[in-house]
Chains A and B, each alone.
Chain A
Amino acid sequence: MEAIRVNNITKSYENINALSNVSFSINQTEIFGLIGPDGAGKTTLIRILTSLILPDEGNAYILNLDLKKDYKQIRKIIGYMPQRFSLYMDLSVEENLQFYAEIFGVSIKDNYYLIEPIYKQIEPYKERKAGKLSGGMKQKLALSCALIHRPKFLLLDEPTTGVDAISRIEFWEMLKNYQNEGITILVSTPYMDEALQCNRLAFIKEGKILTVASPSEILNNYPFNIYDIKNENTYQTIEYFKKIIPDAIINRFGQSLHCSTQLSFDEIIQATDINNILIEKIEPTIEDCFLWISQQQ
């Protein structure tokens, strides 16, 4: 069932198109990912859906509420975690949570079960000022505050930026719990590897939605064979393969390179005549797909 419907949203600041003609929909209790680099328009889109910014054109419907007309009701049912830590640094962990509970007219006890898995981890530090928390703990507190009124729609703007790898994994595990609680989640991230955690995702670049699909659809629709090529000198190897397979897409992936082409494994082995090279047929990663899709545009 459709929970959120976005219709042709356009927004520009001083002649720069932050978003152009963005449309998609999010299903009930889905984790919907907004994947794209910095400056792609993720924050603008999320702010529009929280009713913080009015779009220049287009509109959106959040659980059947009109974004422009019913923004007061919308603000009661959404939870929002901005990209920047926006809680009060001079208030303690508990005071922050208490404050957000009170302005939503609930008590911490009412929805404690919901935040318990995260809040329990920071509860030992509840007397500590929020400004003195570590990055991972700040993130947990911000999420607790965004959930304390049990929102129906949760919007998270780059919640894992600046957070270490382990906290990131724990974070995604928690999001799945909230999904099971019946909360619809929109989450943005600049990290391609997190895309796999979403039910569906939208690739966004330069204010345009490149594609909307599930991760497996995106991976399965990758139209090329893809080979992982390792060699001592990656730089020369790139130049070499650009020469022998001119229409291939070649991208550096760490110490190896990914070569996407229509050629079969045997054909590529045959075409290659340098030593000390390790060629392996692999499945595409989500980053391969993003690179390809953004080149298409």
Chain B
Amino acid sequence: MDIATTIEPQKYAIYARKLVKKFGNFIADDNLNFEVHPGEIFGLLGANGAGKTTAIKMMTGLLKPTSGILKVNGYDIYSESEIIRKSIGYMSQKFSLYEELTIYENIRFFGGIYGLNLKSIKSRAEWAEHTFSLSGFMDKRVSNLPLGWKQKVAFVVASIHNPAIIFLDEPTGGVDPSVRRNFWDNIYQASINGTTIIVTTHYMDEAEYCQRICIMDQGIIKAIGKPNELKNKFLVNTMNELFIKIVRN
């Protein structure tokens, strides 16, 4: 094992060594070793049941690992999961927004959950309005918004407390290609500002947008690296081919 990395796990947004999660006899995640750098866009790919969801649940502090080391923003997952939860944001594919509330009310509500005072909620709302070009829409009900907009709002809400890491669970499946590009522009913007983005998806074209990816299958990490490097290494042209080559063997 690389000694240098074991000494300074604090440097990483995510630091995992020999991470294992078992449910009874079933091994959901087996001996995961990986790290995510601050400000990186990191993709976790795999089919249903590959162990992505379990990995995400451990990183967000919802599940305790069976064994191994896991540090999130330098905090230990076993003893400091409360602090970890305050420093991360989570956006699920179902966008857990309140449909009957307006965009602003959603922002205010989620800001309140994270303990923001009214002043900082207002400044975050202004930031969102400006950064995501939501002006004129803040008082619209979420239920009346098109899918691409809901996605944007869900991202705003996930980043309302300025978290160091944002987890995106299959964020853009099925939306308009041009809307999807706008969304990824927002993600890149957040990453440039230093936010770490961790994306799970089983859509390979989405993986192309990640700076580094990790391909999982049956609880094991099969490959990890930059998309282009992996494509060259496995002598394939597309992510789809890469995935199939790695998983089918």
Contact = CB atoms under 8 A, between A and B. Distances in A.
Judged by CB atoms under 8 Å, the answer to whether A and B touch is yes
A287 B192 contact: no
Interface string B107-124: 000000000000000000
Interface stretch (A24-32, A66-74, A158-166, A178-186): A158-166
Interface string B187-209: 01100100000000011110111
A155 B247 CA distance: 30
A165 B184 contact: no
**Dominant SS at the B interface?**
helix
Contacts of A164: 46-48, 202
A37 B175 contact: yes
Contacts of A58: none
A38 B189 CA distance: 25
Interface size class of B (residues with CB under 8 A): 20 to 34
B25 interface: no
**Dominant SS at the A interface?**
mixed
B188 A234 contact: yes
A253 interface: yes
Interface stretch (A2-10, A103-111, A190-198, A260-268): A190-198
A230 B49 CA distance: 34
Contact of A136 (B48, B208, B243): B48
B248 interface: yes
Interface in B42-58: 46-49
A38 B147 contact: yes
Interface string A247-263: 00001111100000000
A177 to B, nearest CB: 19
A255 B211 contact: yes
A134 B188 contact: no
A39 interface: yes
A235 interface: yes
Interface residues of A, number: 34
A291 interface: yes
A254 B208 contact: yes
Given A134-B48, A252-B184, A255-B227, A165 B175 contact: no
A38 B208 contact: no
Interface string B136-168: 000000000011000000000000000000000
A38 B178 CA distance: 12
B155 to A, nearest CB: 17
20 contacts: A39-B146, A39-B147, A134-B48, A136-B47, A158-B174, A164-B46, A165-B47, A165-B247, A166-B248, A167-B47, A190-B173, A235-B185, A251-B178, A252-B209, A255-B209, A255-B211, A287-B205, A290-B177, A294-B176, A295-B178
Interface of A: 37-40, 134-136, 158, 161-167, 169, 190-193, 205, 230, 234-235, 251-255, 287, 290-291, 294-295
9 closest A-B pairs by beta carbon, nearest first, are A254-B208, A164-B47, A37-B176, A190-B174, A38-B174, A164-B202, A254-B209, A165-B243, A38-B147
